[in-house]
Amino acid sequence: MLAFFLCLFAGTLARATTVEPLALEDLVKRAHHIVSGKVRNSRTYWSADRALILTSYALEIDESIKGRPPRAFELTTIGGKIGDLELHVSGMPSFAKDENVIVFTESSGPYEVVIGLGQGKFTLENGEVFNDVTGLSFPNGRPAKPMKLPIEIFKRQIRTILTR
C-alpha cells in the first residue's frame, strides 16, 4: 500500500499523475462500492507513519448502486493541509461539504479510496453528473477527458453494465 501512495506522490513532481484510462465499464467492474451521497464532513491527519497527509470524508449515502457499504461510509484521499504543511497530488479528487456525488470505490488496506483518482468521482449538479480529471494524464501521452451526462442516463448505463 505504501508503494501505491509513493507512486502517486512521485507523480506530483511533474504536476500530472499518470494513470490507467478508465471507461465507465472499467469503473463499474472494478468498484467494490458505487454510491450516491452527500459529503457531510472531513478531517485531515497524518498517516500512521507520518509520511503522508491524508483527508477522510464522511459520506451520507442516499443510494447504493453496487455493494453494501457500511453505514458510516468514509472515503480517504492523499493530501490536505496541516498547519503550514500542504500535500497536493495532481488528479486526486477533492470533496466539498454538502457536495452531492457518485463515487466508485475500492479498498486499499484500511482505506476506502476512489478508483482512478478523479476518474471515479462524479459531482451531481443541475440534473447532470461530471468528473474532474484535471491533473491526470495517461501512459499514451493523451490528456484525460472529463465525462458529463444526465444523471438518469448515467445511472441507467451503470445498471446495464452491472447486469452483463
| Confidence bin at 15 (pLDDT 50/70/90) | low
Residue-range definition of the domain harbouring residue 159: 2-163
Q: Supply the pLDDT for residue 6.
A: 45
Distance CA 94, CA 72 (A): 19
**What pLDDT, on the 0 to 100 scale, is given for residue 60?**
95
Q: Any idea which of 2-6, 32-36, 42-46, 139-143 has the lowest mean pLDDT?
A: 2-6
Contact at 8 Å (CB) between 105 and 33?
Answer: yes
100, 38 Cβ separation under 8 angstroms = yes
Partnered with residue 151 across adjacent β-strands are none
Please, are residues 11 and 4 in contact by the beta-carbon 8 Å criterion? no
- Residue 143's pLDDT is 76
Average pLDDT over all residues of the chain: 89
Q: Which residue has the cell 509520511?
A: 51
- The domain total for the chain is 1
Whether the per-residue pLDDT at 5 is higher than 80: the answer is no
Tell which residue, 44, 74, 78, has the closest CA to residue 57. Answer: 74
Whichever domain contains 59, its CATH number is 2.40.50.120
Q: Region 66-89: what's the mean pLDDT?
A: 92
Among all chains, which residue has been given the C-alpha cell 482505506? Answer: 111
Distance CA 14, CA 48 (A): 26
Residue that wins the pLDDT comparison between 42 and 138: 42
Q: What percent of the chain has pLDDT over 70?
A: 90
For the chain, percent of residues with pLDDT exceeding 90: 70
**pLDDT at residue 7 tops 70:** no
- Which is more confident, 80 or 19? 80
101: three-class secondary structure by DSSP = strand
Q: What is the pLDDT at residue 3?
A: 46
Task: Tell me if 16 sits within 8 A of 91, measured CB to CB.
Answer: yes
pLDDT confidence tier of residue 137, bands split at 50, 70 and 90: confident
